[in-house]
Amino acid sequence: MSGNNIKVVCRFRPQNSLENREGGVPIISIDDEGTNVQLKGEATSNFAFDKVFGMNTPQKDVFEYSIKSIVDDVTAGYNGTVFAYGQTGSGKTFTMMGADIDDENTKGIIPRIIEQIFTSINDAPSNIEFTVKVSYMEIYMEKVRDLFNPSSDNLAIHEDKTRGVYVKDLYEIYVANTDEVYQAMKNGSSNRVVAYTNMNAESSRSHSIVVITITQKNLDTGAAKSGKLYLVDLAGSEKVGKTGASGQTLEEAKKINKSLTALGMVINSLTDGKSSHIPYRDSKLTRILQESLGGNSRTTLIINCSPSSYNEAETISTLRFGMRAKSIKNKAKVNADLSPAELKALLKKVKSETITFQAYIAALEGEVTVWRGGNTLPEDKWVSMDKINKGDYSALPPASNFRAASVAEDASRPTTPSVSKLEAQYATKKEMQQKEIEDLQQEISEKNENLHKLTGSLSALKDANEQLQNALSEQPVQAQNGDLSEREKELERMRKSMAKELADFETMKKVLMRDLQTRCEKVVELEMSLDETREQYNNVLRASNNKAQQKKMAFLERNLEQLTNVQKQLVEQNSSLKKEVALAERKLIARNERIQSLETLLQDAQEKLINQNQKFEAQLQAVRERLEQARSQKSQTSMALNFGRVAKPLRGGGAVVENGENSPTSPTEKRDKRNSWIPGFMGSR
């Protein structure tokens, strides 16, 4: 099949209460054809997609246009992928799952897909036998986790020529109707990781992937086809400032944004026309979706956006992502195993083509012989493939006529089994299929033995759970009291250290003040001595002008200059000491404030400890209740998982199958069976 582009559709949800509180207003405009959207925010931008759905588009319209054809292709043997992309709180899970599974107006894509699959099976001819398998996984903190078997929390991704990219040891459950699919997915969704953020009360912290495998076999001819449908609900891209993520939630947001960035890099590499390497292996998400992006799959991408000016930057980023993805080309093909009749027909076709080419070669060799002999041939006698196909050997030259007829006669004779390689390959393949059936039966018997062993070890697991419960009830309180004791000791050490530093500071301050006072007194004395010296100098000048007096005056002038320099130094030192005293006083005030703050923190810590002890008691009680619930659920899950390993063949047209039946269920019966359904099982965003 020639390459086809990924179908990209855009859906806008209504403006929510957060956007209204922040003063956001709708800034989108969709054209009449519903294929272009214009954003009129800080800058005007235009984007084109296969379809753009407005804020009030019914769920049915999104499914009919975007998804229905892919489901038809999967039941016909193609691989298909549907995934939703967008920021946290953009409506991805509402699109994928909907608000109410029994409400025709609000149920989402996944319930409609499941209903269409079993409707298609019931509408198929009665000679077609189907099996449907479901697996459910999530990618959390860059680890692949099996939601049907949560103990498998770090599964490996492998690839081979037959299966393509697949997750090793991923648990698969056989289902026979819509209710079994819903129940299986409900059990798996209870193990998903969600958390509260400012953008959404239950924001998914992981990417979830549901894989539905549909295998059909024609009981008359033995031909088989197999199609896989990937339903991907991506975790929302986040701006930490808006979501308010912190701690573990912040670390999860980093991993989510990293994997979505890797998805963007893969799409860039697929569409830029320059990259020789596609970085599928940069994240677990892109590795699993390798066939969905540029591979063997019919893919639809639903980008979910906010129409509000409050989320303008995130909406533009999402729309650009969709525009790039729209340029990706996939090459989808039917995953089919040929029936014996089809293999024989293919063998017959190959034989016929072989005979034709051998006759053509023989005719050309005959014509070459004529030309080499120095003879010429008219143009109407030249050898051509059309003449060979028509069997018109009389229109060829005599030598070519003879050779081509001989080859055709020899080739038309029956071939012995030793010569027919294709027949031998068919027989070998049939033997291998029979051996695979026997191996599968042996595996089923081994699984039954393992079930008995697991039942025998249940009592040991109960004892281990009781020990864990006792350990859980003792450790947390001791750990918290220990933390409070350490904090009090640390605070006491800090108090003693501050008291010692304060005493040292007071001693130093007194010494400095005494030194300062002494220096000030010396300055005063020097000033008085200077005045006296000047007076004496003036008296001497007036009394005598002889040389001895002049020498004495010169000596006194030098002393006067030195005393002046000393005075300047003392003034500078006095100023520096004043600055140091002011700085020391500020430090003392800061230390006093720090001590008061620590005393307040200690009081708050004591109050918090009391509150935490109360909360811990409540949490401990909740853990005990959950342990009891887990014991009962584990027993039920173990039985359900082993039951889901048994294949449940379904016949087209609702025909009865041995060991089971395949009949449609009325809407009333479906609602009665799904009375325990919890809407939004994939985690709302």
- pLDDT tens per residue, range 410-441: 555 444 444 345 445 545 554 655 565 455 45
- Annotated binding residue at 349? no
pLDDT at 315: 92
Spatial distance between the Cα atoms of 400 and 370, rounded to a whole number of angstroms: 9
Phi and psi at residue 23, in whole multiples of 5°?
80, 20
pLDDT at 644: 64
- Annotated binding residue at 86? yes
Better-predicted residue by pLDDT, 150 or 308: 308
pLDDT at 405: 54
pLDDT at 528: 75
Better-predicted residue by pLDDT, 380 or 451: 380
Task: Report the relative pairing of strands 650-651 and 128-140 from DSSP bridges.
Answer: antiparallel
Q: How confident is the model at residue 63 (pLDDT cuts 50, 70, 90)?
A: very high
Helices (H) and strands (E) in the chain, counts: 17, 20
Spatial distance between the Cα atoms of 125 and 222, rounded to a whole number of angstroms: 14
- Annotated binding residue at 197? no
Whether the Cβ atoms of residue 357 and residue 383 lie closer than 8 Å to each other: no
Q: Which residues, including other chains, have CB under 8 Å from residue 142's CB and lie 6 or more apart? A: 255, 258, 259, 283, 284
Spatial distance between the Cα atoms of 599 and 338, rounded to a whole number of angstroms: 82
Spatial distance between the Cα atoms of 537 and 529, rounded to a whole number of angstroms: 12
Kind plus residue range of the DSSP H or E element containing 154:
none
Mean pLDDT over each residue of the chain, to the nearest integer? 75
Q: Which residues, including other chains, have CB under 8 Å from residue 651's CB and lie 6 or more apart? A: 126, 128, 129, 130, 657, 662
End-to-end alpha carbon distance in the chain: 37
pLDDT at 678: 37
The residue assigned the tokens 């193990």 is 191
Q: What is the DSSP letter of 297?
A: S
Spatial distance between the Cα atoms of 419 and 547, rounded to a whole number of angstroms: 146
Whether the Cβ atoms of residue 170 and residue 135 lie closer than 8 Å to each other: yes
Runs of H (alpha helix) within 35-84: 59-66, 68-75
- Annotated binding residue at 54? no
Q: Whole-model pTM above 0.75?
A: no
Spatial distance between the Cα atoms of 195 and 248, rounded to a whole number of angstroms: 10
Q: List pLDDT tens digits, range 237-253.
A: 655 444 444 455 556 66
pLDDT at 278: 86
Q: Please report, as a single letter, which amino acid is at residue 231.
A: L
Residue 390 has pLDDT above 80, yes or no: no
What is the pLDDT averaged over residues 498-516?
Answer: 69
pLDDT at 115: 92
- Annotated binding residue at 91? yes
Structure tokens, 590: 């800061």
Spatial distance between the Cα atoms of 298 and 289, rounded to a whole number of angstroms: 12
pLDDT at 602: 85
Q: How confident is the model at residue 358 (pLDDT cuts 50, 70, 90)?
A: confident
Single out the residue of 109, 11, 64, 73 nearest to residue 298, CA to CA: 73
Q: Which long-range contacts (CB under 8 A, 24 or more apart) does 485-493 make?
A: 487/602, 487/605, 488/602, 491/598, 491/602
pLDDT at 29: 93
- Annotated binding residue at 92? yes
Structure tokens, 207: 């990417």
Q: Which residues, including other chains, have CB under 8 Å from residue 550's CB and lie 6 or more apart? A: none
Spatial distance between the Cα atoms of 74 and 133, rounded to a whole number of angstroms: 13
Helix (H, G, I), strand (E, B) or coil at 426: helix
- Annotated binding residue at 88? yes
Single out the residue of 321, 285, 327 nearest to residue 303, CA to CA: 321
pLDDT at 42: 83
Better-predicted residue by pLDDT, 206 or 654: 206
Spatial distance between the Cα atoms of 183 and 676, rounded to a whole number of angstroms: 9
Residue 654 has pLDDT above 90, yes or no: no
**Any idea which of 30-44, 442-456, 498-512, 642-656 has the lowest mean pLDDT?**
442-456
Helix (H, G, I), strand (E, B) or coil at 137: strand
pLDDT at 665: 47
pLDDT at 132: 94
Cβ count near 616 (within 10 Å): 13
The residue assigned the tokens 């409707």 is 119
Portion of the chain with pLDDT greater than 90, in percent = 16
Alpha-carbon distances of 498 from 340, 490, 492, 603, 605, rounded to whole Å: 93, 12, 10, 19, 21
Q: How confident is the model at residue 661 (pLDDT cuts 50, 70, 90)?
A: very low
Residue 561 has pLDDT above 80, yes or no: yes
Q: How confident is the model at residue 27 (pLDDT cuts 50, 70, 90)?
A: very high
Whether the Cβ atoms of residue 71 and residue 82 lie closer than 8 Å to each other: no
Phi and psi at residue 329, in whole multiples of 5°?
-115, 125
pLDDT at 398: 57
pLDDT at 199: 40
Q: List pLDDT tens digits, range 68-118.
A: 998 889 988 889 999 899 888 888 888 988 888 778 888 889 999 999 999
